[in-house]
Amino acid sequence: MRIVDSPNQDERPPGVEIGLVVVHAISLPPGQFGGDAIERLFTNRLDPSAHPYFESVAHLRVSSHFLVRRDGALVRFVPVERRAWHAGASTWRGRSRCNDFSVGIELEGADDAPFEDSQYAALALLLTDLRKKLPLRAIAGHDEIAPGRKTDPGPRFDWNRLLVELARPLAL
């Protein structure tokens, strides 16, 4: 796992239990994969003149705990003990401010593109590891915690496949 520190983080509220994982999808520019634009966005270094779309997002101060690239490579931006700024205005099971009690995982992807085998495998391994360290009780899509505002990870994300990956025994 590569570590790229994002400044877009802060302390979680005292005594808050981290019980939720939020799955996101991102591509910059939209629908294009590869490159360093996501890392630049999460570290406040995205050049608004590098692509017309970047003008609309370069000012955002956002991050996630992790990014799973198309090839399954993992990047950590924020330690799970700290609050990443990934959920925005959000609610899960009656609780608002999901950033306070969740871990955000971005998949390099788009609503209209299938995700890669390597991404499902890497996500399952990451979730297995996180479950050993945190009292996780639920996993949700960004679209579930911010309905009407967000659509990711989108209809091409196969939740059943993720569950199968999570149930698969680890190879020794």
Of the candidates 106, 108, 116, 165, the residue annotated as catalytic is 106
The answer to whether residue 149 sits within a structural domain is yes
Residue 172 lies in a domain: no
CA distance 143 to 150: 5
d(CA 23, CA 104): 6
- Tell whether the model's pLDDT for residue 149 goes beyond 80: yes
Model confidence pTM above 0.85: yes
122 within a domain of the structure (yes/no): yes
CATH number for position 109: 3.40.80.10
- Indicate the helix (H) or strand (E) that contains 108: strand 102-108
pLDDT tens, position by position, 30-42: 999 999 999 999 9
User: Is residue 17 annotated as a catalytic residue, yes or no?
Assistant: no
89-102 confidence digits (pLDDT tens): 999 999 999 999 99
Please indicate, yes or no, if residue 171 is contained in any of the structural domains.
no
Task: Give the chain's domain count.
Answer: 1
**Token output for 151:** 């659509």
Chain mean pLDDT for the chain: 96
Is 147 contained in some domain? yes
- Angstrom distance (rounded) from CA 130 to CA 164: 17
